[in-house]
Structure 1
């Protein structure tokens, strides 16, 4: 919890999380915006995040229970690369669409059928990009039962992944971050209420 508190404050202070009126890539309106691509520009905080993620995976899943890490470019892949070095685990990644030249593969890296993989992503909203990745992995004969995200936006990803037979774990979610910032008087009650309304929480 101490890490999450420090992380939430850091994200807000560095503009990695902003509150206001935003239009997301999906065209959906949002009362906040998260950009975790800022984090690797701060190596100490980035390393803390990766180490915390590593400890959570060791505790909740166990490094011996999967063969390889997998991610989807680009946000999650940067985190997964750092995690692969820390855990000394192989890394593969899934393209959002197969490249239209060369081998036209959608899964990059070395893998074998029957390998068990753990998916890493930065932010989960509806789970769409992860689900597409999961489908590509399953087509290649890889097994996946868990995924880890840094921040869950609480907009359906958990349920959508459950329908695919995959459990989503998170370091934190937008509601926890917003509550921490509100308790530290960094944001107003109005902002807190807007995020509550968007996530459907009380």
Structure 2
């Protein structure tokens, strides 16, 4: 499954240029561009991501899996669906970018309660900033973050930065694996 997902990401979500032509959120220019959404919203990609992410976290038996909207949302939903198919259900959750200011003011949408053990996920890590923000907001809501898993690690220090907030951090796929898939 992993090799098939790498091939799909390489086809639909990964771009490389010998010159740094891709502008990142930080404003820095890069040789690489990763947009996982075309893959994780594709039916086969959703299947592969859900099952691989579930395999990466099933040992923890977390109550939930999720992260900062919008990057983590399709991955969390695919993982929750796969978890039900595998007989070990876990709930998906989504962390807002801005706190809800009406009703019950919360960072998180989903069926979780303070004290629940969760895994925070993200689609791509460059510096790890989005994942760290998700971890902090999950903890603000009383959740126990037991692992962070990134779909694609750009191998630019993000996982190391996240480890300063969560000891157990993993990536399913690395930039090097995507580079190998495109023959670069």
Q: 1:52-103, CA deviations, whole angstroms, 9 ceiling, x for partnerless residues?
A: 2222323xxx153x22212211121111011112212122221122133433
Tell me the distance in 1 between the aligned counterparts of 2:100 and 2:114: 21
Q: C-alpha separation between the residues in 2 aligned to 1:135 and 1:41?
A: 27
Q: State the secondary structure of the residue aligned to 1:177.
A: helix
What residue in structure 1 maps to residue 14 of structure 2? 17
Deviation at 1:41, TM superposition (A): 4.5
Counterpart Cα distance in 2 of 1:144 and 1:134 = 7
Instruction: Name the CA distance, whole Å, in 2 between partners of 1:5 and 1:85.
Output: 21
Q: How many residues align?
A: 176
- 2: distance between equivalents of 1:30 and 1:142? 35
1:148-171 per-position Cα deviation (integer Å, ceiling 9, x unaligned): 111011122211121113321111
C-alpha distance in 2 between matches for 1:180 and 1:158:
22
Matched, 1:119 2:120: yes
Q: 1-side partners of 2:7 and 2:166: how far apart?
A: 34
Alignment match, 2:27: 27
Give runs of ≥4 in structure 1 deviating > 4 Å: none
Give the root-mean-square deviation of aligned CA atoms: 1.9
Structure 2 gaps, min length 5? 84-88
- Deviation of 1:116 after TM superposition, in Å, equals 0.8
Residue 160 of structure 1 is matched in structure 2 by 161
> Could you tell me which residue of structure 2 aligns to residue 193 of structure 1?
none
Higher helix share: 1
Partners of 1:144 and 1:166 within 8 A in 2: no
* Structure (1 or 2) with the larger CA radius of gyration: 1
Name the CA distance, whole Å, in 1 between partners of 2:97 and 2:161.
Answer: 18
Partners of 1:18 and 1:32 within 8 A in 2:
yes
Using the size of structure 2 for normalisation, the TM-score is 0.85
The corresponding residue for 2:150 is: 149
